[in-house]
């Protein structure tokens, strides 16, 4: 793994997510989606899949093949799916995957309920073995918190505590999104045979 490769560092992806959320058109749509009774996570999955694919293909890695899909059967032993699967084919032909688990706090979840949902995603990422065809892989937990005093820093992914990203997304009507994140590099030896 090349630590200087931007696709493997947290900042470009997280910065891209913050920029997506700060777009005035998206800010209004986030607020409207957040108000929906059934939650807004599915909508965010679609929006981020499209945005991240275009951002990385057109801005960060022009000329590389980038593919972003949703609900892929990424994890072998349980047939669990990743919310977003980000596939990058590098110039030398090697392929790298980012499997993203996304959680978006709803109006009715509450701080404790949201924390439990994020904890479940952390457990999923820590315990699941991606299929061999998805090696090598970085497995992510991204949590969009709307509770101002939420603290998820004691939850862990890959032996590291979740981190609160330095920037927030200010939304309409006083709503602000805090992005919590963690990642685990999955080695080929940890993969499940297809």
Domain boundaries of the chain, sorted by first residue: 6-187
Q: Average pLDDT for residues 149-178, to the nearest whole number? A: 85
Write down the pLDDT at residue 187: 66
Distance CA 184, CA 16 (A): 20
Mean pLDDT of the chain: 81
Residue 163, phi then psi, degrees to nearest 5:
-115, 145
The C-alpha atoms of residue 135 and residue 127 are separated, in whole angstroms, by 16
Instruction: Tell whether the model's pLDDT for residue 108 goes beyond 90.
Output: no
At 100, the pLDDT band (50, 70, 90 cuts) reads very high
Residue 23 has pLDDT above 70, yes or no: yes
Torsion, Cα of 174, 51, 61, 65 (10° steps): 160
Residue for token pair 């805090």: 178
């Amino acid at each position: 793994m090349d630590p200087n490769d931007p696709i493997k560092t947290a900042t470009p992806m997280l910065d891209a997510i913050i920029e997506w959320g700060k777009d005035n058109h998206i800010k209004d749509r986030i607020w409207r989606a957040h108000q929906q009774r059934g939650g807004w996570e599915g909508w965010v999955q679609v929006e981020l899949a499209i945005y991240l694919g275009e951002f990385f293909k057109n801005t960060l890695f022009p000329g590389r093949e980038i593919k972003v899909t949703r609900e892929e059967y990424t994890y072998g032993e349980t047939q669990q799916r990743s919310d977003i699967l980000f596939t990058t084919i590098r110039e030398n032909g090697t392929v790298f995957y980012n499997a993203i688990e996304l959680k978006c706090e709803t109006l009715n979840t509450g701080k404790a309920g949201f924390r439990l949902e994020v904890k479940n995603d952390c457990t999923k990422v820590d315990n699941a073995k991606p299929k061999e065809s998805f090696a090598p892989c970085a497995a992510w937990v991204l949590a969009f918190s709307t509770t101002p005093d939420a603290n998820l820093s004691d939850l862990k992914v890959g032996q590291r505590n979740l981190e609160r990203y330095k920037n927030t997304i200010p939304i309409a009507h006083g709503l602000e999104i805090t992005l919590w994140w963690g990642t685990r590099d999955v080695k080929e030896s940890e993969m499940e045979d297809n």
